[in-house]
Structure 1
Amino acid sequence: MLSDPFYTLVKVICNLYLFIVLLRLVLQLSRADFYNPISQGVVKATSPLILPLRKVIPAIGRLDTASLVLALGVQLVTVGLVVLLKGASLPPAGYAIYTIAGTLYHLLDLYFWAMLISVILSWVAPDANHPGAMLVRQVTAPLYQTCQRFIPSFGGLDISPIFIFLAISFLKQALMPYSI
């Protein structure tokens, strides 16, 4: 009975740090403002582990492979702790599948929430200059631009978020059995 709160606490802490690492990866991929206070907070939270990794793992183009490796590492630790706390066991291939699929699931979850915040901000405060609002716009802009190449707007109404939400939801459902 006591393991359930501890299990939940471990999952929350690990997934929160994974979220921050994935946010750093997404901020770099979308070329978000580095001097944004939220970006600076994410960099400070992840630098102690990413900077040593960067000395060993070089970036590939715009992809910060050190952040990606750290995200996979955090997810692997999460999977290992969850398996340990549940008293179960997995083959090595199981750890790899749960690590990769879980990381993708959490990345999609990050984009889902960013998209939701973006849609709500477009209704409530379309021209907000808050650092959080600007960061959400910068993170979601590549998704919108990619989708808008294929789906035109209807008289000023942009329906691309609907298709992005559908794609994210479909992919998350496919990865749901492997998310921890």
Structure 2
Amino acid sequence: MSPLSQAGLLLINSIGSLILLIIVLRFLLQLVRADFYNPLSQMIVKFTNPMLIPLRRIIPGFGGLDIASLVLAFIAQYLLITLIAMVAYGTAALPWVAMLGWALLGLVKLIFNIYFWGMIIMVIASWVAPNSYNPALILINQLLDPLMRPIRNVMPDMGGLDLSPLVLILGLQVLEVLLINPMAVALSVPGGLILGL
């Protein structure tokens, strides 16, 4: 692969991953009813609104879920797979039906990664800056709380030691081994084509 192709892949992966992350965060933060007035929430809303407002005219929400955000993330993932294939392989002539499965798998893996890294950030922040009012940490806490609360309710009291982050991280890893890895094998995903895998 030429240096120009490598540079193109680096740019597509970096910029595409950031855009995809912001779109998926828009869906997740709305799903957990995170603070809309948080400065980071406002940034995410302002970034995604130009793409989502026209899409919402066609795809309404359903049962409190922002389906338009999911569709936008799916479209973005599909387009990124196409761009990566064009730069890496010199062609966009991939099986489009398989690419639909690849895009869906990439989104599921991205959501797993968001929760995994959010958990790591919260654990480190609890050691370094406990009870911080940083807007990013507040949003991460609001995002993780719906998954952490049931675990905390079941876990026995450990005298101030909260092991629920460890349980959640292990649970995410087990689900990844049981769900995502077999799906990647079943869909015959080429290496390096899907962001996050």
- Tell me if both proteins adopt one fold, taking TM over 0.5 as the criterion: yes
Deviations 1:38-77 (A, max 9, x none): 1000000110001111111111122100111111111011
Pick from 110, 124, 146 the counterpart of residue 106 of structure 1.
110
Cα offset for 1:172?
Answer: 4.1
Amino acid at match of 2:44: V
What is the aligned residue count? 180
Pick from 98, 122, 133 the counterpart of residue 129 of structure 1.
133
Q: Which region of structure 1 is more displaced relative to structure 2, 119-128 or 169-178?
A: 169-178
Secondary structure of the corresponding residue to residue 109 of structure 2: helix
Secondary structure of the corresponding residue to residue 94 of structure 2: coil
Pick from 156, 169, 173 the counterpart of residue 165 of structure 1.
169
CA distance in structure 2 between the partners assigned to 1:99 and 1:153 by the alignment: 41
TM-score by length of structure 1 reads 0.91
- Equivalent position of 2:148 in the other structure: 144
- Equivalent position of 2:64 in the other structure: 62
- Equivalent position of 1:175 in the other structure: 180
Amino acid at match of 2:51: L
CA distance in structure 1 between the partners assigned to 2:81 and 2:176 by the alignment: 18
Gap runs ≥5 in structure 2: none
Deviations 1:99-150 (A, max 9, x none): 0000111111111121111111222222111211211111111110132344
Q: CA RMSD in A?
A: 1.8
CA distance in structure 2 between the partners assigned to 1:78 and 1:152 by the alignment: 45
CA distance in structure 2 between the partners assigned to 1:132 and 1:4 by the alignment: 32
CA distance in structure 2 between the partners assigned to 1:153 and 1:119 by the alignment: 18
The answer to whether 1:115 aligns with 2:115 is no
CA change 1:83–1:121 in 2 (3 A) is same
CA distance in structure 2 between the partners assigned to 1:52 and 1:172 by the alignment: 34
CA distance in structure 2 between the partners assigned to 1:153 and 1:27 by the alignment: 29
- Equivalent position of 1:71 in the other structure: 73
Does the CA-based 8 Å contact 1:152-1:158 persist in structure 2?
no
CA distance in structure 1 between the partners assigned to 2:23 and 2:41 by the alignment: 11
TM-score by length of structure 2 reads 0.84
